[in-house]
Structure 1
């Protein structure tokens, strides 16, 4: 009997199997069985994310319990104080999110660990805030972020409200992997144990809203802009609309996308990186002559932006909106004499060079991290403790940013408020829209086009193909791309830099399967497997003499990389 058959038979015949899964298992064909059982869903440094359903390679009550029991064993190892401080638990609008969250609370209680679980869906950044606000030992967030409706996920946070960094996550992973039978774990508890979990809501909402509203730099600015806003059926609906109401902004909600619908019925995609997320919001914007469009992903840690410019709506990339936010914040801190000493901005190794140039123009240092906001959160905590540098902004190219670090994750409600303020400020003080501001940055620092190509490769064969692409690139050692010389190569898995015929150690990063090629013309290309989806991602930051030149170069580099990796259609 194959491993797949053994696992399948164990599940379908287990007396402990949740009854909701039995019928699905019995209806599976051989291909479905293989995909559900060929491996055990990975609990990695970003937690777990995967398709919902029964099986060892799926997100379900049993795999969630296995992860939670491993986390509970980790907590108990830290002593009674950690158990008493407890865990904050949040969840989004997805199928089974609430059930998973309360099941986690019960399983923690069974282990003698206190928890605080939200009464209903809340944003990921509010969960991060709650960990620190309640003085918890850590947190659990049930979410699959921007993934399609078929997915769900599980993220863990430390006492600083930051997602577990690899050194801590590896300790939890060891505990999770030591559990041999996820089907044997029960969350049944006694009435006495039930007292260990507390339901929370407005008692955390109000302090979080107050903290978000405290980020305003020009609260008195005339708020004569129209904002079309969509939460994409997710958790941003209540907090963002309430914060806008309290701060005086005119917001027009995309009502069809304001219901917490796990099927995302009224949006082609909940991912702000994809055009479908903006379709209905664009219609609202045109009908209402709106100035800006703001779209949040389901767990409200990312914000997409559309801007009315010369009569048309322009959807900004995360690199562009991040650079504009950065310019606004730094210019205002300088103007008001509020720039801290030794200021630092954080972004990632796959974020555009434009932000670094904006920061340098304002005397702000830039430090880069690997993809994953936990690395930025880790640096924030480090400098907060040492006092060596002072945080002023952090962002990723994938629409995630953090204005003030009372949260230690990406925070879309903060970003929505600051973006609205920036749009109001530039309209009233300088007669500009946010695309005008971006064009000014290009004129000053050089024109960039940043794009991402995500190659979807599903299942076991897809996972192997992604590994092969990275392995082949690593082995081949590209010296040119589309005829343009590679002047520097960084391999974050092997921790090496190759430049001018020399090989040096790449320091300051944990090992990660990322390759980055710097080209002679000032552009770069990076390749990495997604940590949350079955995709191989190609990032392009292309510098041109103007927008047309940058675009032509981008197409040339994309074609060349598709040919090099054998992924051309």
Structure 2
């Protein structure tokens, strides 16, 4: 019997199998069985994310319990104080999110660990805030972020409200992997243990809102802009509208996308990185002559931006909106004499060069991290202790930023408030946010940033992604589209290659990332997604104009497609 059949038979006949999965298991064909059971769903440094359904390679009540029991064992090893401090638990609008969250709380209680569970869906950044506000030992967030409706996921946080960095995640992973039978775990706690579960809500909301409102640099700016806002059926709906109301902004909600619908019925995609997320918001914007469109992903850590410019709407990339945020924040801090000593901004190795140049213009240093906001959170925590540098801003190309670090994850409600303020401020000067971006190109050079994601599902897809990276390492390109590769960085092998010289790449945890710097000032990076079955190609292409940068981007994308046979 194959390992797939062995695992399948164990599940379908197990007395503890949740009955909701029985029919789906019985109706699986051979390919579905293989995809559901060929491996154990990876509990990695970003937690778990995967398709909902029965199977060892799926998100379901049994794999969630296995992860939570492993986390519980980790907490208990930290001691009685950790168990008493407890775990904050949040969840989004997805199928089974609330059920998973309260089941986690019961399982922690069974292990005599306290928990604080939100009464209803809340943003990921508010979960991060709750960990800090309630002085918890850690946190659990049930969410699949911007993934399609078929997904759900599980993220863990430390006592600083930061997603577990690899060193800590590795300890939890060891505990999770030591559990052999996920089906044997139940969450049946006693009535006395049940008292360890505390339901939280408005009190934490109020403190979070107060902190979000504190980020304003020009709270008295004339607020005569029209904002169309969509939470894409997710958790941003209430907090963003509440913060706008308290700050004095009027927003026009995309009503059809304000219901917490797990099927995302009224949006082609809940991902602000994709054009479909803006379709209905654009319709609202044109009908209402809006100045700005703001779109959040389901767990409200990412924000997408659309801007009315020359009579039509321009959707900005995460790199572009991040650069505009940096320009506004830094310019205002400097103008008001509020720029701290030794200021530092954080972004990632796949984030555009433009933001770094904007920051440098104001004397702000940039430190690079790997992809994953936990690495930025780790840097924030470090300097909070050493006071060597002072935080100004942090962002990723994937539409996530953090203005003030009372949260230690990407925070869309903060970003929405700051973008509204920036749009209002520049409107008083007769400019929109695209005008601001164009001025940055004039000062620092024109860039076009893009990402191409190659989706490769199932076992065959996972193997193909590994093959692409292995082939690039085996036969490293010396030129791409006729442009010489002047430097390459391998974050897995920890090497830098410049010509025939190879040196050590330091300061990063090993990660399967390749980055190629080209002689024209552009760069291209390749990495497998940590949360989806995708191989991602990142392009930061420098041109003499927008048109030139775009033409070069198209050519580079085609060259990489041919180079990797993708």
What TM-score results when the alignment is normalised by the length of structure 2? 1.00
2:187, 2:169 → 1: CA distance? 23
- Runs of 4+ in structure 1 deviating by more than 3 angstroms, as ranges, are none
Residue aligning to 1:434 = 433
Measure how far apart 1:477 and its partner are. 1.4
Measure how far apart 1:349 and its partner are. 0.2
Residue aligning to 1:560 = 559
Tell whether 2:506 aligns with 1:507. Answer: yes
Residue aligning to 1:230 = 230
Residue aligning to 2:361 = 361
Tell whether 2:423 aligns with 1:451. Answer: no
Measure how far apart 1:21 and its partner are. 0.6
List per-residue Cα deviations over 1:514-562 (Å, max 9, x = no partner).
0000000000000000011000000000000000110111011101100
2:318, 2:478 → 1: CA distance? 29
2:482, 2:317 → 1: CA distance? 27
Structure 1 unpaired stretches of 5+: none
Tell whether 2:77 aligns with 1:77. Answer: yes
Residue aligning to 2:490 = 491
1:129, 1:164 → 2: CA distance? 15
Residue aligning to 2:374 = 374
Residue aligning to 2:45 = 45
1:509, 1:394 → 2: CA distance? 17
List per-residue Cα deviations over 1:248-300 (Å, max 9, x = no partner).
10100000000000000000000000000000000000000000000000000
2:108, 2:39 → 1: CA distance? 26
List per-residue Cα deviations over 1:291-324 (Å, max 9, x = no partner).
0000000000000000000000000000000000
SS at match of 1:532: coil
Aligned pairs, how many? 566
1:558, 1:203 → 2: CA distance? 49
Give the CA RMSD over aligned residues. 0.4
1:423, 1:565 → 2: CA distance? 41
1:510, 1:105 → 2: CA distance? 32
Measure how far apart 1:37 and its partner are. 0.3
Tell whether 2:116 aligns with 1:95. Answer: no
Residue aligning to 1:130 = 130
1:363, 1:79 → 2: CA distance? 44
Residue aligning to 1:408 = 408
Residue aligning to 2:393 = 393
1:373, 1:84 → 2: CA distance? 28
1:78, 1:18 → 2: CA distance? 31
What TM-score results when the alignment is normalised by the length of structure 1? 0.99
Tell whether 2:262 aligns with 1:286. Answer: no
- List aligned pairs for 1:82-231, cutoff 5 A: 82-231=82-231
List per-residue Cα deviations over 1:1-29 (Å, max 9, x = no partner).
00000000000000000111111101111
Measure how far apart 1:476 and its partner are. 0.4
Residue aligning to 2:462 = 463
Measure how far apart 1:353 and its partner are. 0.2
1:523, 1:44 → 2: CA distance? 31
1:510, 1:397 → 2: CA distance? 19
List per-residue Cα deviations over 1:135-158 (Å, max 9, x = no partner).
000000000000000000000000
1:424, 1:461 → 2: CA distance? 50
List per-residue Cα deviations over 1:451-487 (Å, max 9, x = no partner).
1000000000000000000000011011100111000
2:186, 2:535 → 1: CA distance? 37
Measure how far apart 1:500 and its partner are. 3.2
SS at match of 2:33: helix
Measure how far apart 1:203 and its partner are. 1.0
SS at match of 1:156: strand
1:212, 1:170 → 2: CA distance? 32
Measure how far apart 1:489 and its partner are. 0.3
SS at match of 1:467: helix
